[in-house]
Structure 1
Amino acid sequence: MTETLIQSPLALGLLFVALGLVAGIPAGMFGIGGGLILVPVFVAVFSLLAFDSASLVQLAVGSSLGAIIPTAILSARAHHRRGGVDGAAVRRLLPGIIVGALIGAWLATRIDSDHLGRIFGAFEVAIGIWMLLNIQPPEAPVPRRSVWLGGGALIGAISSLIGIGGGTLTTPFLVSQGLELRRAIGSAAALGVPISVGASLVFALPQWTDPAYQAPEWALGYLYLPAILGVVIGTSISVRGGVWLTHHLPVAHLRRGFAGILILAGLLMLIR
């Protein structure tokens, strides 16, 4: 019954829009990309749709990155208009970010789907604990180019490997290098654009480069287009609500609640 209902085009479209509405709230509140929510829910939905289990997590990760592109662009523009993007910091991280994003996405398309799911689950639990403890990065600016290049490469690789926009990692790195928090968040949003665009291109490639891969209907490689479209619609509506909540509700309590959700979702990904 559930599988029949979810395969209805209208019900499926509404489900993805609703998912976008949910994912946009923490994105607006905490500057954390929706991938931490999108990937585990995509895995659950794609399982109900009986997609090939051998590529299930790759499809979820790729679709998450595809859905992040327009959100990252809109967010970056909004921060830029308010002077919240540090151009020098973006330029210093950009080369490493691009290289890392391409490598991470390439690795994700070649790792066993179950192993990739466990990597995501472990990372999500770690981020949940970090948010729960509200650990602040120490300010220890290191001006060496190698530190920025290596830091960018690591951020890009991890982000594209597990399907997030990178703000979870980029913001603490920039704060540790002396940027004020709001400018760090704005700069991280700008850097989410090359991460999501570069990684999405790699996740689309199996459509033409892997004859053995049978993409689901309406998918481009590992990008499931109906999911991306629905989530983009929902996120574009709800992200403003997340910003509003930040200024009107006790964020510390909401942070703990969201951390609990991440830990639970991560554990479910680990034991699936």
Structure 2
Amino acid sequence: MSWWQGLLGFTAGLLIAVVTTPVGVSGAVFLLPVQLSVLQVPNPAVTPTNLLFNIVAVPGALLRYRRRGRLGGPLTRLLVLGTLPGVVIGALVRVFLLPGAQVFRLLVACLLFPLGLWLCVRTVRPLRRRNTPDDPSPGAVTALALAVGAVGGMYGIGGGSLLGPILVGRGLPVATVAPAALASTFLTSIAGALTYTVLALTAPGDIAPDWALGLLCGLGGLVGGYLGAHLQPRLPETGLRLLLGALAVALACLYTVQALI
């Protein structure tokens, strides 16, 4: 890794985390294209490298949320219960079934495009709420967390980055979802990174994370996540959601073109 790659990784992690942390997203979902296309991290090592970013970056935001008394609670436990086994399943699928870059880019596009559109539509035209919101049942939350955890294990985002916008779209408050989603991301990223490290001992190819780059990106995300969590009460939530949705759609289109060329 050259000095400019390290500097770019640190800067990208910081800027992305500042924008994404206020809505409960670690930023790994948007850092991955930088690692894959700009920093040239090989497949499938890019996925555990992204999980390593989460491990280093997320504690900054969690510390800030803890100081406000927003960390913990039943939602966090439900998310972790589902995403922990899901991320291990996703790691196994990523290594043995989807190691190629072309298939991986298409998977990324199929994941980001509907999520981005959904975020934009729900932000511009929110559904009419009932007088008493119909919160998802604990079983439904855990089942959703399991499925998203598997996708997160393949994609390198830990799962919480998808659960956050999904649950917020269902009507749960951002102040409740954001810390729970980030806590889930942190714990499942640890499990996912350990799974990839063990698989690197037995399976061929570039499977182990790029430790130096992952740590530098994570340090940037650590600073950016703390700042983002600090700024959450002062930032317009509508603008942040629209920005996240637009970025997701743009990245999906870019990856579709790259995969089909």
Task: Give the counterpart letter for 2:256 in structure 1.
Answer: L
In the other structure, the counterpart of 2:208 is 222
1:108 has 2:99 as partner:
no
Pairs within 5 Å for 1:199-218: 199-210=192-203, 212-213=204-205, 215=206
* Residue deviations 1:97-125 (CA, integer Å, cap 9, x gap): 21111101111112142212211122112
Pairs within 5 Å for 1:47-62: 47=40, 56-62=42-48
In the other structure, the counterpart of 1:37 is 30
Give the 3-state SS of the residue equivalent to 1:58 in structure 2.
coil
Pairs within 5 Å for 1:174-213: 174=167, 180-210=173-203, 212-213=204-205
Decide which of 115, 121, 124 is 1:127's aligned counterpart: 115
Residues 89 and 238 of structure 1: CA distance in aligned 2, closer, same or farther (over 3 Å): closer
Alpha carbons 1:72, 1:165 under 8 Å: kept: no
How far did 1:185 drift? 1.4
Pairs within 5 Å for 1:156-171: 156-171=149-164
Residues 155 and 226 of structure 1: CA distance in aligned 2, closer, same or farther (over 3 Å): same
Alpha carbons 2:61, 2:229 under 8 Å: kept: no
In the other structure, the counterpart of 2:56 is 70
CA distance in structure 2 between the aligned counterparts of 1:93 and 1:256, rounded to whole angstroms: 25
CA distance in structure 1 between the aligned counterparts of 2:136 and 2:231, rounded to whole angstroms: 35
Residues 246 and 161 of structure 1: CA distance in aligned 2, closer, same or farther (over 3 Å): same
How far did 1:231 drift? 0.7
Decide which of 134, 137, 140 is 1:140's aligned counterpart: 134
Q: How many residues align?
A: 250
Give the 3-state SS of the residue equivalent to 1:83 in structure 2.
coil
In the other structure, the counterpart of 1:3 is none
After TM superposition, the runs of 4+ consecutive aligned structure 1 residues lying more than 6 A away are none
* Residue deviations 1:62-84 (CA, integer Å, cap 9, x gap): 21111101222333343233221
TM-score w.r.t. the length of structure 2 is: 0.82
Residues 99 and 247 of structure 1: CA distance in aligned 2, closer, same or farther (over 3 Å): closer
TM-score w.r.t. the length of structure 1 is: 0.79
In the other structure, the counterpart of 1:118 is 106
In the other structure, the counterpart of 1:4 is none
* Residue deviations 1:26-72 (CA, integer Å, cap 9, x gap): 2233322211211111111343xxx6xxxx34222221111101222
CA distance in structure 2 between the aligned counterparts of 1:171 and 1:12, rounded to whole angstroms: 30
Range with bigger deviation, 195-204 or 147-156: 147-156
Decide which of 238, 245, 249 is 1:259's aligned counterpart: 245
Residues 134 and 34 of structure 1: CA distance in aligned 2, closer, same or farther (over 3 Å): same
CA distance in structure 2 between the aligned counterparts of 1:154 and 1:226, rounded to whole angstroms: 30
Alpha carbons 2:64, 2:229 under 8 Å: kept: no
Alpha carbons 2:12, 2:220 under 8 Å: kept: yes
Structure 1 residue ranges without an equivalent (≥5): 1-6, 216-220
Residues 172 and 235 of structure 1: CA distance in aligned 2, closer, same or farther (over 3 Å): closer
How far did 1:175 drift? 5.1
How far did 1:233 drift? 1.9
Give identity over the alignment, percent. Answer: 21
Pairs within 5 Å for 1:72-87: 72-87=58-73
CA distance in structure 2 between the aligned counterparts of 1:267 and 1:249, rounded to whole angstroms: 28
How far did 1:258 drift? 3.9
Structure 2 residue ranges without an equivalent (≥5): none
